[in-house]
Amino acid sequence: MFTGIIEDLGTIEKLDRDGGNLHITVHTSITNELKIDQSVAHNGVCLTVVGITGDTYTVTAIQETLDKTNLGLLKEKNV
Ligand SMILES: Cc1nc2c(=O)[nH]c(=O)nc-2n(C[C@H](O)[C@H](O)[C@H](O)CO)c1C
């Protein structure tokens, strides 16, 4: 379900470059409410959840997304 409501601010746990892709692992208190394939906004950019481990989930930004947004500037521990 898309609500558009900001429920929590996540913290970047891990950034993993994979060619043109950037795998972003985020720690958040609402991870337990997420499911694979769900869409979550990151700095206003919708990304699809591809993995969930404990309190963290992972999304992947493709090169086109990195070119058009500020997600490529993210650093680990950023909120
Ligand atoms: C649902 C969704 N998922 C992803 C994703 O997992 N990875 C990604 O790079 N882009 C996704 N997008 C598209 C972005 O939100 C964004 O609108 C475009 O990439 C901008 O070119 C969307 C809309």
Nearest atom in ligand 1 to 62's CA = 9
Q: Is 60 within the bounds of a domain?
A: yes
* Residue 26 buriedness (CB in 10 A; 0-12 / 13-18 / 19+): buried
This complex has an ipTM of: 0.96
Q: Is 38 within the bounds of a domain?
A: yes
Q: How far does residue 41's CA lie from ligand 1's centre (Å)?
A: 9
CB distance 48 to ligand 1 below 6 Å: yes
Look at residue 2 in the predicted model and tell me its pLDDT: 64
Nearest residue to 12 via CA among 64, 47, 63: 47
Phi/psi for 12 (5° steps) reads -70, 115
Residues of the chain with pLDDT under 70: 1-2
Report the number of distinct structural domains present in the chain. 1
Q: Is 2 within the bounds of a domain?
A: no
CB distance 64 to ligand 1 below 6 Å: yes
Residue given tokens 């699809």 in the structure block: 48
CB distance 59 to ligand 1 below 6 Å: yes
Per the structure, the complete domain to which residue 31 belongs is given by 11-73
CATH number of the domain that 55 lies in?
2.40.30.20
Hey, whose CA ends up nearest to atom 23 of ligand 1? 46
The model carries a pTM of 0.93
Tell me how crowded residue 39 is: count the other CB atoms within 10 A of its CB.
10
